[in-house]
Structure 1
Amino acid sequence: MKKIVVLLGIMLSVACHNEDVQLSKANVSVMKEIDDHSPIYMFFRTEGNDTIAEVNKKNSISTTNWIFNIDKRLPLHAVIPEVKVLQQKKKNATHTKEGAIDVFSYADSVGTNLAFLPFTDVRFLYDDKFSKFYIKEHAEAYMNYNNFTINFNRDNSITVDGNPIERKDLIAFIKEFSEFMSDGKITILHLNFEKHLTFDQYIQNKIMMWQLTSASIQLSSFEFVYDADKLPECGCTL
């Protein structure tokens, strides 16, 4: 059984056939080790004025855990459709391993190791979906929870339920209001990402949100990667 525990030092990239994928970096490890894995690489490429993800999935064995090594410069609109295709491929595979997981890799710049962010249960709703409208459409499913819509805009600024908030204040704000408003209910954080954000910005935001989780605060398994021009007209602040 293969186990990966890579010391990075000053290296912040992984290589596939002598090609580098520039990894995101953070100062915390969500996971440090993963057994029995297959690597998947998404390289940064440009075609004219477009940025695309070139995917190397030759080693994606359905009976293993999958490590997605994604170049941090890629925009989400290039990454997420490819991730969705690969998620579906694994789901439809004839042979799968019970308990196998999918993770994004990144570099822990403090621990100088390769770290992993699990996303096995994440379902990406892409392009014309936003959590505020989704919750309204499925009100019965969410009525017993305290729901926060958190939006990372195109400029990577943040709103909570349509209200701007400084990044440095977000964690304290969510914890305080969750405790104040919960009335014993579990708080669910519904994450929205404008599709032109980079994968690096996505990883940084996801790790920040992961640090908020507890028995009473959870991340929704639905993530919304949206095109602002395709959302319903609501006359409201996202």
Structure 2
Amino acid sequence: MKYFKFLIPLLVVACNSEKVILLPEVQQVNTHEVLDISPAYLFYDSTAVNSIELNRKNLIISTNWLVNVDRRLTLKHVIPKIQFLQNKKRGAEMHKNEDAKNYYSCNDTRIKNLGFIDFTDVNYFTKDSVEATQKALNKMKTNRFNIKVETLNRIKFSHSEEFKNLNQLISELQTDSTLKSEPLVLHLAESLTFQDYMSIKSALISLISEGIQVHNNEFIY
């Protein structure tokens, strides 16, 4: 029952507006309990121009933010909204809480309950922000492993022409010790669904404890 306070507002918003959020389903998250929260909702709306509707009226700057994103939405539509929320919190001057974090909500299929993926320190760069993207790339270490993700079945390292699926990628990261020497940098197709994105993030979480480094800069192309 520890998620009761969170589930009730989610159901109220969904019922009052006749909208339902289908949360991503994953098998690995880094958090299962968050206190002192404010929720935000990114609804899938097939009638809207960009297929997305953001409800953020209950967000309080000083709290941990739980961002509930419909898994059917694509990164093209989700990431600009996430950047907007991040900028609101990062740019706040009053009531700012340096310890407050941002989480994506998911369904953890292993325990059949809610789980949360921390994205507080993730910096997103879209193909529309050419100058910011170039500056970020210039500041990053030259030695890094760039991973290009077109779909969950078409993933490759920038130094290779061979495509892998997500399971094959994770297997290689687990067995090839050279891939632990430098950080992994994600380059994600904007056509990926949020479900696909959470599947990738969830799979990488399981590898961090094994020495894999994942850069906090992520590039959407």
* 2:123 counterpart of 1:123: yes
Q: Which runs of 5 or more residues in structure 2 are unaligned?
A: none
Partner of 1:206: 201
Q: Which runs of 5 or more residues in structure 1 are unaligned?
A: 227-238
- Report the alpha carbon displacement of residue 86 of structure 1 after superposing the two structures with TM: 0.7
Tell me which amino acid in the other structure corresponds to 1:197: L
TM-score, scaled to structure 2: 0.83
- Report the alpha carbon displacement of residue 196 of structure 1 after superposing the two structures with TM: 1.0
- Report the alpha carbon displacement of residue 56 of structure 1 after superposing the two structures with TM: 0.5
Partner of 1:66: 65
Tell me which amino acid in the other structure corresponds to 1:153: E
* 2:167 counterpart of 1:168: yes
What is the DSSP-based 3-state SS (H/G/I as helix, E as strand, rest coil) of the residue aligned with 1:127? coil
Partner of 1:230: none
After superposition, give the CA deviation of every residue in 1:82-101 in whole Å (9 maximum; x if it has no partner).
00011001111122112110
Q: Greater helix percent: which structure?
A: 2
What is the DSSP-based 3-state SS (H/G/I as helix, E as strand, rest coil) of the residue aligned with 1:169? helix
Paired-residue identity, %: 29
User: Structure 2 vs 1, CA of residues 151 and 181 (structure 1 numbering), >3 Å: closer, same or farther?
Assistant: closer
Q: How many residues align structurally?
A: 209
Q: For the residues of structure 1 that align with 2:76 and 2:165, how far apart are their CA atoms?
A: 25
Q: For the residues of structure 2 that align with 1:218 and 1:105, how far apart are their CA atoms?
A: 23
* Alignment check: 8 A CA contact 1:42 1:53 kept: yes
Q: For the residues of structure 1 that align with 2:54 and 2:45, how far apart are their CA atoms?
A: 10
* Alignment check: 8 A CA contact 1:33 1:115 kept: yes
Q: For the residues of structure 1 that align with 2:136 and 2:44, how far apart are their CA atoms?
A: 37
After superposition, give the CA deviation of every residue in 1:88-125 in whole Å (9 maximum; x if it has no partner).
01111122112110000010122011100000000000
What is the DSSP-based 3-state SS (H/G/I as helix, E as strand, rest coil) of the residue aligned with 1:97? coil
* Alignment check: 8 A CA contact 1:129 1:225 kept: no
User: Structure 2 vs 1, CA of residues 74 and 156 (structure 1 numbering), >3 Å: closer, same or farther?
Assistant: farther
Partner of 1:44: 44
* Alignment check: 8 A CA contact 1:156 1:197 kept: no
